[in-house]
Chain A
Amino acid sequence: MATSNNKRAQATVHGYNLPDEAGHFGPYGGLFVAETLMESIEELNEAYVKFMQDPEFLAELDADLQDYVGRPSPIYHAQRLSKEIGGAQVYLKREDLNHTGAHKINNTVGQALLAKRMGKTRIIAETGAGQHGVATATVAARLGLECVVYMGAEDIQRQSPNVYRMRLLGATVVPVVSGSQTLKDALSEALRDWVTNIDNTYYIIGTVAGPHPYPAMVRDFQTIIGREGREQMLNKTGALPNALVACVGGGSNAIGLFHPFIEDDGVKIYGVEAAGLGVETGKHSAPLCAGKPGVLHGNRTYLMADEDGAIIETHSISAGLDYPAVGPEHSWLKDIGRAQYVNITDDEALAAFHQLTRVEGIIPALESSHAVAYATKLAKTMDKEETILVCLSGRGDKDIFTIAKIEGIEL
């Protein structure tokens, strides 16, 4: 059930400089945590502000992104796919080619360097599909830091290859058995760990959510996607893309792609949420399309809750999109009309997964398949001379077991 009005005008924005000092994007974002965490967060914020202006830190980050992550990631003109669609030209920003197979590592490399600068010896993280957990365990291994990853007991069942990967990398994976036993509960449990071990522990949040400064900081580490993509499109096509498309769970790959284009008036921005079995069924993970503003995990943002404010369980075929809230900057971009948020069902994502695999020889992650599916719909409404830049946020190797199971195939 995607929004049909693809050609809807989007607002123009100039002089965009958010968040404010207290982490607000309009009414969203902010710092909603218990007093027990405030000191750690103030310490983190100071370090973030200091090191993001420190040429030595930035040089080290650049070197790591190049030599360890493998950046820049290319953009790829999906010609056969574009031809099959018969509309706009689809370009893929190949974050799936990064070390560990997704955009997540852009952020963990950055935050791990920050942790090291801050003298922390222990890293914790939450993970849903396991991609952020693997990316965190990877950088912890490289820097010789202890690593503990919280993962919902249910997610541990459905993502066992990533659990094993994290263990190989030396991380301790702790099953979270509270609440719905998924990503949101893993995040809560990581916050509980942090408050208990604040002296030596650094918490690497994997998405643009959480209390300030996380939404801004994770964005800053992910905007490499959009900065590279912008330049690459100019080099390759001589123009900016007409539209950007990225999937939105917490929304880190999306904000990383979108942010450098916010002031480019001609570029339309589409964030794709997971409609699960269909937004109308209630079994989805689409807070921007079907939720309302509230406060969860340290920030004010659109989220999914019942009328009494209890967070409700989400559904998506893709564990990485299975989260009831969304980064606060997306809430703001939605409200001011700069970006449009749409949704793609499990079935549509699966179809796109197969199409891209078969036509281009690229197996996309189920998360990224949502973006590909929407780009396919959007391209049909556009001219052949127009371009769409899609963030292919991760590779799909991790999902083959899920897909085989759905299709009744035993591996």
Chain B
Amino acid sequence: MSRLDDCFAALDAANKKALIPFVTAGDPNADFTLTCMHEMVQAGANIIELGVPFSDPMSDGPVIQKASERALAAGMSLKGVIALVKQFRKTDQKTPLILMGYLNPIEFMGYERFAEKASQAGVDGVLTVDIPPEESADLIAAYEKHALAPIFLLSPTSNETRIKKIAAVAKGYIYYVSLKGVTGAGHLELGDVEQKVRQIKQHTALPIAVGFGVKNSDIAANIAKISDAVVVGSALINCITDHAGNEQHGREAIDDLLVGMRTAMDAVPRD
């Protein structure tokens, strides 16, 4: 069993849903991210998504765009993210780690080399935003060889054909984008999300994580009712920028938000 499968099995046994924080690696610097990762686990995170900063993050809203710019300015790179994972694994061998980013840095490193290095460092899955399954055959083959889970997005506009196509190749979990738009965008309609998650579940046994637009504990708790995992990103990055200049306060704000979400999610009775 992989770390990801173990994680979801354990949560299932405990009647809990997964809380998945996203932070951009290296924002505002690598040390901050490393400390933050350990603290987020303490605060109740089950899986961590680490954003690999890219110069042209086309699917991200302004909050994560700025985070990417800060991280790149601080010298972060795909190599740097892999090194960060290696550091994290020195003291945490249990929490699954997912890299989330864009294809070009992986193209430049080479699929095989990237898969090998990421896997050796302790990465469990990779979500590459700008590569649909149609273009993914070579990348998935490299991931398979190195026991990395290819994680894919589904969106409100994904029709039945696309859901099946993605269900056929995805591993680990499927990330459902809750609204039409970019990360951190406006308003998510719970009823629509619930309906779509149900539709997706007809085609896959994988856990469904829901993200984009999860801003507070209430939304997290409501999402937990209708999915297997809650992803929170932009709201955490806002904690960093709100406390720019005081890294400890930034991390504390992240922990507070996550503890609140964890508590609210755990208070939801399981169906």
Least CB distance from B259 to A in Å reads 31
Q: Does B189 contact A (CB under 8 A)?
A: no
CB atoms of B72 and A310 under 8 A apart: yes
- With A40-B157, A308-B79: A35-B177 Cβ-Cβ less than 8 Å: yes
CB atoms of B61 and A192 under 8 A apart: yes
Q: Does B56 contact A (CB under 8 A)?
A: yes
Q: Does B162 contact A (CB under 8 A)?
A: yes
In whole angstroms, what is the CA distance A35 to B151 when docked? 12
- With A36-B155, A308-B77: A191-B180 Cβ-Cβ less than 8 Å: no
- Which A-chain residue is minimally distant from B101 (CB atoms)? A309
Task: Count B interface residues, CB 8 Å.
Answer: 43
In whole angstroms, what is the CA distance A39 to B157 when docked? 6
- With A309-B78, A309-B105, A311-B104: A36-B56 Cβ-Cβ less than 8 Å: no
Task: Count A interface residues, CB 8 Å.
Answer: 38
Least CB distance from B184 to A in Å reads 11
Q: Does B54 contact A (CB under 8 A)?
A: yes
Q: Does B166 contact A (CB under 8 A)?
A: yes
Indicate which residue in A36, A199, A295, A311 contacts B177 across the interface (CB closer than 8 Å).
A36
| 0/1 interface trace, chain B 96-114, chain A, CB 8 Å (1 if under) | 0000001111111100000
Q: Does A93 contact B (CB under 8 A)?
A: no
CB atoms of A35 and B155 under 8 A apart: yes
In chain B, positions 20-61 with a C-beta closer than 8 Å to chain A are: 54-59, 61
In whole angstroms, what is the CA distance A36 to B132 when docked? 10
Least CB distance from B74 to A in Å reads 13
Least CB distance from A148 to B in Å reads 15
Q: Does A184 contact B (CB under 8 A)?
A: yes
CB atoms of A195 and B59 under 8 A apart: yes
Indicate which residue in A35, A40, A179, A293 contacts B56 across the interface (CB closer than 8 Å).
A179
Indicate which residue in B54, B109, B157, B182 contacts A310 across the interface (CB closer than 8 Å).
B54
Q: Does A382 contact B (CB under 8 A)?
A: no
Chain B residue numbers with a CB within 8 Å of A39 are 155, 157-159, 162
Q: Does B65 contact A (CB under 8 A)?
A: yes
Chain B residue numbers with a CB within 8 Å of A311 are 55-56, 104
Q: Does B206 contact A (CB under 8 A)?
A: no
- With A35-B154, A308-B105: A195-B181 Cβ-Cβ less than 8 Å: yes
Stretch at the interface among A25-33, A68-76, A392-400: A25-33
Least CB distance from B163 to A in Å reads 10
User: Is chain A's binding surface mostly helix, strand, loop or mixed?
Assistant: mixed
CB atoms of B185 and A196 under 8 A apart: yes
In whole angstroms, what is the CA distance A216 to B57 when docked? 24
In whole angstroms, what is the CA distance A184 to B177 when docked? 25
Q: Does A185 contact B (CB under 8 A)?
A: yes
- With A178-B65, A308-B108, A311-B56: A32-B135 Cβ-Cβ less than 8 Å: yes
Least CB distance from B229 to A in Å reads 17
In chain A, positions 188-224 with a C-beta closer than 8 Å to chain B are: 188, 191-192, 195-199
| 0/1 interface trace, chain A 286-300, chain B, CB 8 Å (1 if under) | 000000011111101
Q: Does B143 contact A (CB under 8 A)?
A: no
CB atoms of B104 and A188 under 8 A apart: no
In whole angstroms, what is the CA distance A308 to B109 when docked? 7
In chain A, positions 18-74 with a C-beta closer than 8 Å to chain B are: 22, 30-36, 38-40
CB atoms of A34 and B129 under 8 A apart: yes
Least CB distance from B6 to A in Å reads 27
Q: Does B134 contact A (CB under 8 A)?
A: yes
Q: Does A307 contact B (CB under 8 A)?
A: yes
CB atoms of A294 and B132 under 8 A apart: no
- Which B-chain residue is minimally distant from A189 (CB atoms)? B58
CB atoms of A179 and B69 under 8 A apart: yes
Indicate which residue in A30, A191, A309, A312 contacts B135 across the interface (CB closer than 8 Å).
A30
Chain B residue numbers with a CB within 8 Å of A196 are 180-182, 185
Chain B residue numbers with a CB within 8 Å of A32 are 103, 130-132, 135
CB atoms of B135 and A195 under 8 A apart: no
Indicate which residue in B65, B109, B182 contacts A195 across the interface (CB closer than 8 Å).
B182
In whole angstroms, what is the CA distance A198 to B180 when docked? 8
Q: Does B240 contact A (CB under 8 A)?
A: no
Q: Does B8 contact A (CB under 8 A)?
A: no
Q: Does B173 contact A (CB under 8 A)?
A: no
Indicate which residue in B108, B157, B182 contacts A309 across the interface (CB closer than 8 Å).
B108
Chain A residue numbers with a CB within 8 Å of B78 are 308-309
Chain A residue numbers with a CB within 8 Å of B159 are 39
CB atoms of B158 and A297 under 8 A apart: no
CB atoms of A192 and B56 under 8 A apart: no
Chain B residue numbers with a CB within 8 Å of A34 are 58-59, 129-130, 132, 153, 155
Q: Does B88 contact A (CB under 8 A)?
A: no
Chain B residue numbers with a CB within 8 Å of A362 are none
- With A31-B132, A195-B180: A184-B158 Cβ-Cβ less than 8 Å: no
Q: Does A356 contact B (CB under 8 A)?
A: no
In whole angstroms, what is the CA distance A54 to B79 when docked? 50
- Which B-chain residue is minimally distant from A196 (CB atoms)? B181
In whole angstroms, what is the CA distance A236 to B130 when docked? 48
In whole angstroms, what is the CA distance A178 to B103 when docked? 20
- Which B-chain residue is minimally distant from A191 (CB atoms)? B58
CB atoms of B108 and A31 under 8 A apart: no
Indicate which residue in A38, A300, A305 contacts B162 across the interface (CB closer than 8 Å).
A38
In chain B, positions 175-193 with a C-beta closer than 8 Å to chain A are: 177, 180-182, 185
Chain A residue numbers with a CB within 8 Å of B79 are 308
Chain B residue numbers with a CB within 8 Å of A312 are 55
| 0/1 interface trace, chain B 138-160, chain A, CB 8 Å (1 if under) | 00000000000000111101110
Chain A residue numbers with a CB within 8 Å of B129 are 34
CB atoms of B180 and A295 under 8 A apart: no
Least CB distance from A40 to B in Å reads 7
CB atoms of B104 and A31 under 8 A apart: no
Least CB distance from B269 to A in Å reads 32
- Complex A-B: 8 CB contacts under 8 Å: A34-B58, A36-B153, A36-B177, A36-B181, A191-B58, A294-B104, A296-B104, A310-B72
| Top-9 shortest CB links A-B | A309-B105, A309-B108, A39-B157, A308-B77, A196-B181, A35-B153, A36-B155, A310-B55, A311-B55
Known: A33-B132, A36-B180, A198-B157. 5 other contacts (CB 8 A): A32-B132, A192-B59, A308-B77, A309-B54, A310-B105
